Structure 1
Amino acid sequence: MVHQTMATSSTSASSASSKISPMTLNPLRLVVTALIVGTLAACSTPPAPSPSRPGAIPPPPPASSVVLPGDTGPLPPPLAQPKSRWVPVRWAELPGFTEDALHEAWNAWIKSCERPVPPFTALCSDVRQLSIATADEQRAWLVARLQPYRVEATDGNAEGLLTAYYEPMMDAARQPGNGFTVPVYRLPAGFGARKPWYTRQQIETLPEAQAALAGRAIAWLRDPVESMVLHIQGSGRLRITEADGSTTTVRVAYAGTNDQPYQSIGRWLLDQGYTRDATWPGIRAWLAANPQRTNELMWTNPRYVFFKEEPLVGMDASFGPKGAQGVPLTPGRSIAVDRQSIPYGTPVWLASSGPQVQLSRMVLAQDTGSAILGAVRADYFTGWGPEAGDIAGRLKQNLRLWALWPK
C-alpha cells in the first residue's frame, strides 16, 4: 500500500495465528522463565521525571540508573542505515516498555512472519509460539533475543514527526446515477505503455483517457472529496449497493498510479490564501462556499490512483489492507516508514506525546508512503471508519523511535 499522508486508535485486531497447543511452548518457557521475575520487579522502578515542556516525550533515564534483568551485557557498536544512525541503548530507555500490551503487537509480528525478511526469519518460529504467552514472557524473550537501537538522523537528532493514516469507509454503487457520479477505477487498458500516464485533469476531460478507462470502474462514489480521500489513503472499504439492491462491503486496494507528482489540495488552498483550515472539514467548508471551483481544486493534484477490488470476509475484515511489506496492516500496531531508515518487518518501539494521543508501544514497520521520508518519521495506521479517520486527519506530533534488532 502506497499512500500520501495528510497529518490513533488502539483498537486491536483479532489474532491472526492459529492456536498452538501449550505443550509446544514449554521449551521456550524454559528460555524466558528465568528472566520474568526480574522483569516484573522492574515494573516498580520510579517513573522518569516529568517532561520540561508540554507534549514532550519523557527523557530516558540516565544510562546507568536502570537496567532490566537480562540486559547486563556490553552494548554492541552503532549501526548505520542509508538515512539513519542506530545507537544501542538499554531496554530501560524505552518509555513504557514494562506496561505495553504486547499481545496486540504480536498479532502484527505474526503477520510480518508471513513475509519474513532477514534477519528476522530465524525468529518467526519463536514469535508464533509466543502468541499464547503472557506479556511478561514476551517481554523477557524480547530482552533475551533483541537489542534496542535509538534511531537518529545522521546529525544525531533523535526527534521526528508522527502522522497517521487509515482506511476510509464509503457508500458506493455499482452503476452511476442517483447521486453516485465519481468513479473508482481499475488500472486502465494498456497501462504501462505511457509513463507518466495522463494527469487527473486529463483523465477527466480527454477522450483518449476516457476511452482507456471505459468499463474499468469498480464502483461510483457520491463525493469528489471522498474520492480524493480514498486516493490519498491508498485503500478503502466500500459499502456497495448492488444491482439487485443488496449491499456488499469490499476493499478497494492500491493497484498503481499515473506516475504524476502528488500535490496537496490543502496546501494549495493555504498558498492561495483561500482558507486557514486545510483539514478535511476546512476543505469541505471551502467547497460548500465555492462549489463551482471543485474541479479547479481537485485538478491541482495531478496524481491519480487506480485500485483493485478485494473481498472482505473472515479474518481479512479484522486487518487493514496489505502494506508495502506485502502483509495486512494491524490497527494501532503497524507503521509506515522510510525504508532507507528502517527496513520492512522490523519491530520498532514508538513513543509520541501530544494533544491527540499518548503512545508508548511496540509496532511493526510494514508500509511506506510518498510523504514518509527521513530518519525519525512514521505514519501510524489507525484502522478504519470515522473515528480512525478523525484521529488520522488531526495527528501530527513529536516522535522518537527505537529499532529492535536481533542480537
Structure 2
Amino acid sequence: MLRGLACALALLAVPAYAGLDDARITLVPFEELDGWEDDNHQDALRVFLDTCRDLDEPQWRPICALAQTQDDGKAFFELFFRPLLIEDGNAPLFTAYFEPELKGSRHETSVYRYPVYAKPAEATGQVWLPRRDIEEGGAIKGRGLEIAWVADPVDLQFLQIQGSGRIRLPDGGSIRLGYGGSNGHSFKSLGKELVRRGVYNEHQVSQAVIRNWVRRNPEAGHDLLMSNPSYVFFRKIGDVSASKGPLGAMNRSITAHRSLAVDPKYTPLGAPIWLEKDGAEPFRRLMVAQDTGSRVKGAQRADIFWGTGDQAGKLAGKIKDDGRMFVLLPIQRAYALLPEDQ
C-alpha cells in the first residue's frame, strides 16, 4: 500500500523551488548517509509532524497525512523522500543556539534597569536607528514598548542574538519572549571586535569572557556593546507550555537536538534534514528545518537548537564545526531539481 501511494505522489505537479540557480545539487543514496541506520527516526518523525501540518503545497499534503499513521519512521522517510546534497561553493559551518533564561522584572527597578523592547511601528521594513540611538539615546524610552527589564546589558544583547528567551520574575512567574523584528542593521560580533582591538585572541573569546570583560571595563565595555548596531525587538509569547521549546520561524515550538535553523533560500522550512556535524563531538541526526536566523546564510550553513538555560548555552557556544547536511525532499521534487546529467 505504501509503495502504491509513493507512485501516486510521484505524479503530482512539482512546484517551483526558487533560489537554487547558483547551487550544485547531488542525489545521495540513504546508505551513504553516515550514521543513518543508528538514529531514532521515530523521534524525528514526531518533530516532523509538529510543523508538517503547515506545509500546504500539493506534494506535502498527502505525505503529512500519511505521516500521522506511521509507526516506522525509518521506513517512512526512506520510501517517500530522497536526500539531496545542496552546495553553493561556501565552506560548511554548523553552530548551535539556545533559549536564554534571564532574571528580570515587569517594572524598572534599581536592579533591573535595561528594557526589553517590543518593535515600534516605524521600524518595519527598513534600516532604522542603530543600537546606540535606541539604548544610549533613549529613542523609544517611555513609549510603552517595554516588555520587561533585566539587570545586565550584556545578557540582553546575548538574548537578542539568540532571538528568543524567558524572563524569570521575582514572584516565580516568567515571560516568554519570541522574535519581534529588528532595526535592519547588520550584526557585528562582540567577540570579533575584541579580537580586532587586540584584547583577546580568537580562541579565548566566549560569552563568559565578554561578560566579565565588560563588567571589569564599564566605559570600554559600553562602547563595545554599542559597536554592534543591530538591535532585536521581542514579542510576548503567551500560549506555549513551559515544558516546550520556543517558537521557531514556523510559529511552532522547536525541539532540542532535532530542530534546525537554516537558510530558506536553499532549504525549505519544514523539510527533514540529515545532519553530519563533525568536530570534537560528531553529531549525526535527522533534524527538521523549523527556524531561520540572521547569521544563517548558505546552503551548507545551519544552527542546531540546543535547548533552554545556561547549561545549554555553554554547550551551544562551543559548537562551530564543519560537516555536511542533506535536505530530504519528496521524491518527485527531489528528482525535478537534479541536473540532466544525473
TM-score bucket (shorter structure): 0.7 to 0.9
Q: Size of the alignment, in residue pairs?
A: 314
Q: Which amino acid aligns with 1:186?
A: A
Shift of 1:298: 0.8
1:233 corresponds to 2:162: yes
What residue is the counterpart of 1:262 in the other structure? 187
2:106–2:149 contact (8 Å) kept in structure 1: yes
Aligned AA (1:138): G
Alignment of 1:179-198 (within 5 A): 179-188=111-120, 190-192=121-123, 195-198=126-129
Is the CA contact 1:81–1:342 (under 8 Å) kept in the aligned structure 2?
Answer: no
Corresponding residue of 2:30: 91
2:149 is aligned with 1:220? yes
Give the TM-score, by structure 2 length: 0.85
Q: 1:83 to 1:338 in 2, by over 3 A?
A: farther
Change (3 A) 1:193 1:142: closer
Which stretch shifts more, 171-180 or 295-304?
171-180
| Structure 1 position 101, deviation (Å) | 1.1
Percent identity reads: 34
Contact 1:168 1:236 in 2 (8 A): yes
Q: Which residues of 2 match residues 349-368 of structure 1 at below 5 A?
A: 349-355=274-280, 357-368=281-292
Shift of residue 398 of structure 1? 1.2
Structure 1 residues 139 and 229: alpha-carbon distance in aligned structure 2, compared to 1, 3 A threshold: same
Unmatched segments (≥5 aa) in structure 1: 1-29, 33-78
Query: What is the alpha-carbon distance in structure 2 between the residues aligned to residue 148 and residue 120 of structure 1?
Result: 16
CA-to-aligned-CA distance 1:28-83 (integer Å, 9 cap, x gap): xx648xxxxxxxxxxxxxxxxxxxxxxxxxxxxxxxxxxxxxxxxxxxxxx99245
Could you say if the C-alpha distance between residues 193 and 387 of structure 1 is closer, same or farther in structure 2, counting changes exceeding 3 Å?
closer
Deviations 1:349-395 (A, max 9, x none): 1111211x321111011211121112211111111111210111110
Partner Cα separation in structure 2 for residue 195 and residue 161 of structure 1: 29
SS in 1 for 2:230: coil
- Per-residue CA deviations over 1:181-229 (Å, capped at 9, x if unaligned) read 11111123x434794222111112335x135x52221111111111011
Residue 381 of structure 1 is matched in structure 2 by 305
Q: CA separation in 2, counterparts of 1:319 and 1:168?
A: 14
Q: State the partner residue of 1:370.
A: 294
User: Which position in structure 1 is the counterpart of 2:44?
Assistant: 105
| CA deviation after TM superposition for structure 1 residue 335, in Å | 0.7
> Residue 318 of structure 1 aligns to a residue in which SS?
coil
Amino acid at match of 2:74: R
* 1:309-348 aligned within 5 A: 309-311=236-238, 316-348=241-273
Q: What TM-score do the two structures reach when normalised by structure 1?
A: 0.72
Q: 1:225 to 1:143 in 2, by over 3 A?
A: same
The equivalent position to 1:392 in structure 2, one of 316, 325, 334, is 316
The amino acid across from 1:280 in the alignment is: Q
Alignment of 1:3-402 (within 5 A): 31=2, 81-118=20-57, 119-130=59-70, 133=71, 137-153=72-88, 155=89, 160-188=92-120, 190-192=121-123, 195-206=126-137, 209-211=139-141, 213-241=142-170, 246-276=171-201, 277-311=204-238, 316-355=241-280, 357-402=281-326
> Whole-Å Cα distance in 1 between the matches of residues 87 and 314 of structure 2?
30
C-alpha contact (below 8 Å) 2:44/2:73 kept by paired residues: no
Q: Which amino acid aligns with 2:94?
A: L
Question: In the alignment, residue 85 of structure 1 is paired with which amino acid?
Answer: R
Structure 2 unaligned regions, length at least 5: 4-16, 332-342
Q: Distance in 1 between matches of 2:165 and 2:323?
A: 27
* 8 A contact 1:82–1:341 mirrored in 2: no
Task: Pick closer, same or farther for the CA change 1:194–1:129 going to 2, 3 Å.
Answer: closer
> 2 CA distance for matches of 1:195 and 1:86?
34
Work out which of the two has the higher radius of gyration on C-alpha atoms and give 1 or 2. 1
Q: Tell me by how many angstroms 1:148 deviates.
A: 1.6
Task: Tell me, in whole angstroms, the C-alpha distance in 1 between the residues paired with 2:175 and 2:46.
Answer: 23
The letter for the 1-side match of 2:129 is Y
> d(CA) in 1 for partners of 2:22 and 2:102?
37
Distance 2:46 2:168 in 1: 27
Q: Kindly indicate whether the alpha-carbon contact (under 8 Å) linking 2:123 and 2:182 is maintained by their aligned counterparts in 1.
A: no
Q: Which amino acid aligns with 1:84?
A: A
Cα distance in structure 1, aligned partners of 2:291 and 2:221: 31
CA contact (8 A) 2:215 2:221 kept: no
| Closer, same or farther: CA 221–120 of 1 in aligned 2, 3 Å | same
1:35 corresponds to: none
- Separation in 2, partners of 1:172, 1:312: 20
